[in-house]
């Protein structure tokens, strides 16, 4: 267990022989790309000249198509796998060379362009979708769920990974109920192995706690188990596997369980006047470093309009802490593990440990595409640009036509516009800059 928690101890870790970014190349990239997303993100995320001798795939500098593929495996190991296998902490911390700046810059730019083009919205199988009760029986909200083997795409380039999902998605559906609701959740196990489901953060009868061999028998392949309880613990919670959990949660058996306060005035929509209530579940095993099951550039941007207030509920289902850093504006932290803080506070970087949930409120005042990423840099940027735990808070102004390019569009055709527009409004030149020496 200790080894799993220690990134340095993972199988496949080797000293890197290739280079890290130099301060000079970063400054150059920043100058080339102007004041927008690319420059801001590069400047904030980049290792310094004497930075950590770690790197992550993709290791080739021949462009995004060369991204390391994680071939689907019939039986993925419980250990952190694929992407992580090439973390390369250096024993001597003496990188032997640097990629040509043009190679690095071209690769980094290509990845950002994929993000600005809305890659995440092109992928099938989006998780976190709201789930209505299958039926209501005598006032009980009944949810019928399946536990499935799935093929899941981390981004549009890498091969799908052999993952697990609730109702076929990673994260599973978002279940949102009201304080005092009676819940009956029936899980059918379609896996070839046993499982058990725990409602993390809920105060429930012990025999509903979902821990195989402690409070129930494992749910065998083909069997179902019914969890029934009254939702009395308000706030941001989760449901996830509690059986062979390093593997099963690491491969995607996780989802959000939100209990809204009984009083509408206490809900974020009213209390803080939020226009969006965003679930942000991180994971760091199968497929590398992910937000809601995707890695940059396929992570979803948060798209808002100047003047909006939004809520973000960070949930960490991984095995490492992740300090989330928002560029450009503060986050007001209002709740931990569902419990309102006695004194909310402001910050721009918020560490979220495994199992924790932290709720923040953000006032969107300055237009642009603001980088939003984990500030453990090896979780966010490597020698071929940004990857993993990176996205952006995209704050738009009204277009000249007066139309708002409004959020959460479901297709690439509609999301490419808003992200690109806001990036340009914020000063990004990612679509027009040219890397000297690069073709195209």
Cβ of residue 375: shortest distance to Cu ion, in angstroms? 7
Decide: 132 and 123 in contact? Cβ < 8 Å: no
| CA distances for 386 relative to 57, 68, 224, 247, angstroms | 10, 14, 42, 26
Cβ of residue 321: shortest distance to Cu ion, in angstroms? 7
How far apart CA 99 and CA 201 sit, in angstroms, is 47
Using the minimum distance from each CB to Cu ion, give the nearer residue, 39 or 45. Answer: 45
Residues that bind Cu ion (CB under 5 A): 322, 374, 376, 379
Cβ of residue 299: shortest distance to Cu ion, in angstroms? 13
Using the minimum distance from each CB to Cu ion, give the nearer residue, 363 or 375. Answer: 375
Compute the chain's Rg from CA coordinates: 22
Using the minimum distance from each CB to Cu ion, give the nearer residue, 149 or 321. Answer: 321
Cβ of residue 374: shortest distance to Cu ion, in angstroms? 3
| CA distances for 218 relative to 11, 198, 412, angstroms | 30, 12, 41
Cβ of residue 289: shortest distance to Cu ion, in angstroms? 6
Tokens standing for 435?
Answer: 């890397």
Nearest to 388 by CA among 121, 86, 107, 57: 57
Using the minimum distance from each CB to Cu ion, give the nearer residue, 216 or 290. Answer: 290
Using the minimum distance from each CB to Cu ion, give the nearer residue, 123 or 376. Answer: 376
Residue keyed to tokens 């965003």: 278
Cβ of residue 78: shortest distance to Cu ion, in angstroms? 20
Using the minimum distance from each CB to Cu ion, give the nearer residue, 13 or 150. Answer: 13
Cβ of residue 282: shortest distance to Cu ion, in angstroms? 7
Using the minimum distance from each CB to Cu ion, give the nearer residue, 36 or 250. Answer: 250
Cβ of residue 351: shortest distance to Cu ion, in angstroms? 9
Using the minimum distance from each CB to Cu ion, give the nearer residue, 204 or 374. Answer: 374
- Cβ neighbour number for residue 374 with a 10 Å cutoff: 26
């Amino acid at each position: 267990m200790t080894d799993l928690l220690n990134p340095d101890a993972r199988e496949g870790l080797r000293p890197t022989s290739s280079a890290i970014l130099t301060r000079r190349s970063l400054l150059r990239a920043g100058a080339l790309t102007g004041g927008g997303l690319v420059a801001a993100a590069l400047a904030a995320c980049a290792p310094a000249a004497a930075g950590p001798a770690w790197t992550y795939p993709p290791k080739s500098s021949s462009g995004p198509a060369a991204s390391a593929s994680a071939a689907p495996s019939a039986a993925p190991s419980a250990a952190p796998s694929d992407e992580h296998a090439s973390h390369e902490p250096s024993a001597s911390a003496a990188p032997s060379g640097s990629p040509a700046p043009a190679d690095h810059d071209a690769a980094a730019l290509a990845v950002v362009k994929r993000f600005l083009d809305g890659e995440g919205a092109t992928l099938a199988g989006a998780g976190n979708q709201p789930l209505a009760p299958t039926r209501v029986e005598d006032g009980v909200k009944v949810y019928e769920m399946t536990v499935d083997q799935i093929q899941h795409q981390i981004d549009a380039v890498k091969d799908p990974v052999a993952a697990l999902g609730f109702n076929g998605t990673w994260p599973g559906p978002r279940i949102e109920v009201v304080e005092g609701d009676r819940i009956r959740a029936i899980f059918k196990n379609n896996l070839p192995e046993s499982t058990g489901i725990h409602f993390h953060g809920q105060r429930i009868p012990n025999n509903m706690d979902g821990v195989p061999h402690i409070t129930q028998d494992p749910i065998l392949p083909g069997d179902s188990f019914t969890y029934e309880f009254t939702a009395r613990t308000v706030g941001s919670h989760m449901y996830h596997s509690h059986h062979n959990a390093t593997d099963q949660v690491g491969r995607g058996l996780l989802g959000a369980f939100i209990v809204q306060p009984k009083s509408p005035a206490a809900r974020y929509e009213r209390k803080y006047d939020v226009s969006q209530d965003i679930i942000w579940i991180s994971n760091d095993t199968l497929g590398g470093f992910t937000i809601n099951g995707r890695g940059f550039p396929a992570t979803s941007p948060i798209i808002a309009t100047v003047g909006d207030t939004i809520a973000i509920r960070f949930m960490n289902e991984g095995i490492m802490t992740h300090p989330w850093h928002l560029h450009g504006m503060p986050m007001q932290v209002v709740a931990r593990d569902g419990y309102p803080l006695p004194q909310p506070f402001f910050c721009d970087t918020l560490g979220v440990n495994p199992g924790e949930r932290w709720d923040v409120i953000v006032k969107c005042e300055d237009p642009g595409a603001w980088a939003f990423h984990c500030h453990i840099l090896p979780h966010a940027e490597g020698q071929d640009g940004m990857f993993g735990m990176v996205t952006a808070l995209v704050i738009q102004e009204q277009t000249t036509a007066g139309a708002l390019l409004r959020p959460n569009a479901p297709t690439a055709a509609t999301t490419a516009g808003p992200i690109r527009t806001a990036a340009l409004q914020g000063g990004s030149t990612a679509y027009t800059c040219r890397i000297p020496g690069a073709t195209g």
